Structure 1
């Protein structure tokens, strides 16, 4: 039997298994060597079979991880370029933002609404041990104020991590904060004044809208396209029309779309803002959570510290409750540090000491590889479940990283109504209109794929799908 026929027969058999659901979305396939051994074929034949299925979009190769079954293609959510570019700047006016904290504070819901990884995916025990050691070693320092800028060893660690993705940072420009949201809020407070215009992506994370609202700023929305983020040409068009003080962007795995802006577009975005004197505030919260395993560059890579302030946090990769984040201040370091000092004086010392201890004993990259693989698998499995069990016509964005899924419902289904029906069944999701200044995306919802896939999650997704079908009827 010829080599060609062997690989074609194997690919055809696996294709049918994927189509029938025997091999499910997100499932890891046997390694090439194991496939060759089990099927009694050569390694070259196994490679040809997998490459054929990859060309057909049925499976995907993940660096240093192996081959996985992909979710069904499904149409991505549609864009809305003209509507957003025609708008005038206006204050944050979405009343639904006032109620989102009530949902987030509930602990009785199946947490499809919470964009945080489950504790089982994080090094919880190791961090708890580091907290205990920090307290035993130096309780006086752990429970005292530290310098507003943060502990030097931690700032060095943050600078070293950025150096690994091509960004040379002086540890002296790193300012430790109580999470990324404090970093963003402090940067807005330093750079802007009430009434200034700030560009935000649409859709964007509702917390960024709340931060902008707190400063009394006006929002100018720019379309955020599934898979590729914002268009630099559209950004230049807005900058030429309006006196924009700052752009608050999430180029790496935007919440809710999970879009990744290309490196070429990032370079253009930085250049456009620099040419118009517009400050760039970068939310780099999800930058380490690339499903491919390759950490994309932050915007700061294409800036000399003059225009970009990059904000980040350990919340999504180590522990949300430690509340340790940072700002890379560049030339604004002194102003940002002054704002930080006048606001919260200093970030809590004990979590910083615990992280220093943790990094001295553990390889963060090893844990991140495991977390990325889990989230990538979850995204595929969740997405397939939505396509299988939700109404016909449902469109799901395919994220490149992070832990959120953006879902466009058929026009007859209202996202708020589905949110309320799911809440009544003990299931948390978020309605799409939370992710726009003017309450757009009435027929969208956002889900998190940060919970481990199990029968409870599968049942919850099926339940919400049935509720959506009922609303459609």
Structure 2
């Protein structure tokens, strides 16, 4: 048996080495390999398991085996600066990031948004048309500040599918997840309070904190395993933290997933010290495995978690429909909503509620997850081929962000500026920290369609990185 499975494994190793099977591509099914190699199904399974042990392939639930990238992965220590005292926001680079986000002349490798043809555009268009045909007057009127009941019911049903009980009456509908997070911060903090954020973390969270005059203490997000729960507990013991804003499901920019044991520990540590937990669950539906990880709300026994989310990454970015929910904070969230934008637009709310009621939401989600997972592998393989030796890349478990540690001598800011001159958008690593850390890092989005233009862009970025390295 061992000789047979090794013969099959060696055949596949050769195809991977020669590039016949490339990173991100699906291997032939076990039954097909059995027929081709004239071996039993058990022998084919043993060959694939051996290749998985060697790190050449990876198994994806209900999907099969895929060739893994040869790009060197980031280690857990690569994104863990020294722990420091709370301080106000002092990263001037955050003020200029909007200039890049508004440019339409760039290949948007800086934008963590999926390609529109990966989203259910036809279904959303049909839902908008039905809404205007059947509920025109309601769609054109102001909505209630809390949001339309039908939409809140659909949001509660989505959470029920991952084992989380949500009362539709506790949900406040917002203009995307960022408004939800801003409302949560306004509801639970005052200027000068200390909030805990991950490092690295999404620059939008840093901007929201800066706008409210809050001080920041940072807890490491470990590449691959997520939030350092022990370090978080130590920080809460040391500092008077009012709120924590965390992204446990596929942190942006690292893409790591915090395990359930650490999630439980995080929730318990915050509850023990009266720290309000604000969870950004924007990417929760985009697990490459197909298994939707639970939000922190699932482990909350005292109502201390405010969960924020959005349909922007899964259905329609332009409709700007999100939510905030937390049973003890609904009144405060609603007051904050009334004092800011009053209400979210009616037509997008009604259209999304209609879509969720009349369409199979999970089918396009499965397609989106598969494409993002394959893209992450394609991007990693292209970086391994075209970028300088020493470049290391994260292996995200979901979402659409790739976090790069650049080769010695290459600064993310310099590569970012050079890429703009080539018509390519990227984001330098120092945007993702309050302290201007990660100067030798870069974030790329892998949400676009893979094609020759994309490979050419990654090749050009790699050549530019190599020039910067040699210049140093």
- Structure 1 residues 425-471: Cα deviation after superposition (integer angstroms, max 9, x where no partner): 01111100000111111111000000111100000000000000000
- Assess if the C-alpha contact under 8 Å between 2:250 and 2:398 holds in 1: yes
2:202 aligned with 1:197, yes or no?
no
Distance 1:359 1:80, change over 3 A: closer
TM-score normalised to structure 1 length:
0.97
Partner of 1:193, secondary structure, is coil
- Structure 1 residues 139-185: Cα deviation after superposition (integer angstroms, max 9, x where no partner): 11101111111111111111111111111111111111110000000
* Structure-2 separation of matches of 1:400 and 1:33: 27
Distance 1:82 1:257, change over 3 A: closer
Give the corresponding residue for 2:119: 122
Tell me the CA shift for residue 77 of structure 1.
4.9
- Assess if the C-alpha contact under 8 Å between 2:271 and 2:302 holds in 1: no
Tell me the CA shift for residue 73 of structure 1.
5.5
Give the corresponding residue for 1:71: 69
Q: How does 1:152-231 map to 2 (within 5 A)?
A: 152-231=149-228
Partner of 1:331, secondary structure, is coil
Give the corresponding residue for 1:10: 8
Tell me the CA shift for residue 18 of structure 1.
1.1
- Assess if the C-alpha contact under 8 Å between 2:73 and 2:395 holds in 1: no
Question: Which consecutive aligned stretches of 4+ in structure 1 deviate over 4 angstroms post-superposition?
Answer: 80-83
Tell me the CA shift for residue 114 of structure 1.
0.6
Tell me the CA shift for residue 98 of structure 1.
0.8
- Assess if the C-alpha contact under 8 Å between 2:113 and 2:400 holds in 1: yes
Give the corresponding residue for 1:21: 19
Partner of 1:290, secondary structure, is coil
* Structure-1 separation of matches of 2:227 and 2:42: 41
* Structure-1 separation of matches of 2:203 and 2:23: 30
Give the corresponding residue for 2:375: 378
- Assess if the C-alpha contact under 8 Å between 1:324 and 1:351 holds in 2: yes
RMSD between aligned residues: 1.4
- How many residue pairs were aligned? 470
- Assess if the C-alpha contact under 8 Å between 1:79 and 1:223 holds in 2: no
Distance 1:144 1:295, change over 3 A: same
* Structure-2 separation of matches of 1:452 and 1:69: 19
2:345 aligned with 1:348, yes or no?
yes
- Assess if the C-alpha contact under 8 Å between 1:113 and 1:448 holds in 2: yes
2:263 aligned with 1:266, yes or no?
yes
- Structure 1 residues 5-45: Cα deviation after superposition (integer angstroms, max 9, x where no partner): 33211110111211222211100112222222333333222
- Assess if the C-alpha contact under 8 Å between 1:300 and 1:308 holds in 2: yes
Which of residues 244, 261, 266 in structure 2 aligns to 1:247? Answer: 244
* Structure-2 separation of matches of 1:77 and 1:397: 8
Gaps of 5+ in 1: none
Greater shift in the superposed pair: 262-271 or 148-157:
148-157
* Structure-2 separation of matches of 1:338 and 1:243: 26
Give the corresponding residue for 1:33: 31
Which of residues 456, 463, 466 in structure 1 aligns to 2:460? Answer: 463
* Structure-1 separation of matches of 2:316 and 2:148: 18
Give the corresponding residue for 2:291: 294
Gaps of 5+ in 2: none
Tell me the CA shift for residue 47 of structure 1.
1.7
* Structure-2 separation of matches of 1:157 and 1:379: 30
Distance 1:47 1:83, change over 3 A: closer
- Assess if the C-alpha contact under 8 Å between 1:404 and 1:446 holds in 2: yes
Partner of 2:105, secondary structure, is coil
Q: How does 1:294-333 map to 2 (within 5 A)?
A: 294-304=291-301, 306-333=303-330
Tell me the CA shift for residue 305 of structure 1.
5.2
Distance 1:441 1:165, change over 3 A: same
* Structure-2 separation of matches of 1:353 and 1:122: 18
Tell me the CA shift for residue 231 of structure 1.
1.2
Give the corresponding residue for 2:141: 144
Distance 1:7 1:74, change over 3 A: same
* Structure-2 separation of matches of 1:163 and 1:304: 16
Give the corresponding residue for 1:368: 365
- Assess if the C-alpha contact under 8 Å between 1:141 and 1:349 holds in 2: yes
TM-score normalised to structure 2 length:
0.97
* Structure-2 separation of matches of 1:122 and 1:80: 33
Partner of 2:438, secondary structure, is coil
